[in-house]
């Protein structure tokens, strides 16, 4: 009887180690492939999209490439692996409180931006670009990455820290290191805390969008 229990424990520990190794593999796939897919999709789109309008072409390239890399691929990958539901990735039904918070935030944000004397056309174009960036990057960095990190070690501090490091230094690897340390990492940690506390991407998207637009 004791031998049977001992063998079961050995098998259980071995299986847990195998599961962790598998999850680590999935973590690196979700860390590296989306960024590569964004770059590759962007290059392909630059050849396919006509250059009649510079801004329209830019938005199409950014929108399609980032949607493919940061939303479609991570969701499809996690759906195949774990049958993940959208709620598990922070995509929840809209609540009245979110609408109120969003409206107040946007009113304050645009009042501040207009007070700086920013050109209206520049503001509109920046709004579209930052919206695309915030939605796609947050789905990947907070939704998908936090989901897989929780399977590695389900502690809030670990999920926030590791997802923030991934966001600050992997998606912005072409930016100066100190800029990532001083500018992107602190903001990413705040967004990580918001997501872990609310499990709602709309709050982190709003923060990300506001954070970026205030620095145009």
Across residues 86-90, what is the average pLDDT? 96
Token readout for 209 is 């969008």
Distance of CA 162 to the CA centre of its chain: 13
Predicted confidence band at 47 (pLDDT cuts at 50, 70, 90)?
A: confident
Question: Any idea where the domains of the chain sit in the sequence?
Answer: 2-213
Band the pLDDT of 19: cuts 50, 70, 90: confident
What was the pLDDT predicted at 2?
Answer: 46
Q: Which two tokens stand for residue 165?
A: 């490091």
Average pLDDT of the segment spanning 121-148: 96
Residue 10: pLDDT band with limits 50, 70, 90:
very low
DSSP 88: G
Task: Place 52 in a pLDDT band, splitting at 50, 70 and 90.
Answer: low
Alpha helices in the chain (DSSP H): 2-48, 54-67, 73-82, 96-115, 120-138, 145-152, 156-169, 177-179, 185-198, 201-213
Kindly state the average pLDDT of the residues 152-169: 96
Percentage above 70 pLDDT, the chain:
90
Banded model confidence at residue 18, pLDDT cuts 50, 70, 90: low
Query: What pLDDT, in 10s, does the model give residues 205-215?
Result: 999 999 999 98
């Amino acid at each position: 009887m004791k031998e049977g229990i001992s063998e079961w424990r050995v098998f259980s520990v071995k299986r847990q180690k195998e599961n962790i190794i598998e999850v680590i593999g999935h973590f690196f796939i979700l860390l590296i492939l989306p960024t590569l897919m964004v770059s590759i999709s962007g290059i392909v789109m630059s050849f396919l999209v006509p250059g009649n309008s510079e801004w329209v072409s830019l938005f199409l390239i950014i929108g399609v490439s980032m949607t493919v890399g940061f939303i479609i691929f991570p969701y499809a990958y996690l759906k195949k692996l774990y049958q993940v539901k959208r709620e598990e990735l922070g995509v929840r039904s809209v609540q009245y409180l979110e609408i109120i918070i969003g409206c107040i935030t946007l009113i304050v944000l645009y009042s501040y931006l207009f007070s700086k004397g920013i050109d209206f056309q520049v503001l509109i174009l920046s709004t579209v670009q930052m919206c695309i960036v915030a939605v796609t990057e947050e789905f990947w960095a907070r939704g998908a990455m936090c989901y897989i990190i929780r399977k590695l070690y389900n502690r809030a501090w670990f999920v926030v820290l590791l997802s923030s490091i991934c966001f600050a230094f992997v998606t912005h690897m072409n930016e100066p290191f100190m800029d990532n340390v001083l500018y992107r990492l602190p903001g990413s940690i705040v967004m990580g805390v918001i997501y872990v506390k609310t499990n709602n991407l709309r709050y982190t998207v709003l923060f990300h969008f506001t954070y970026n637009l205030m620095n145009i």
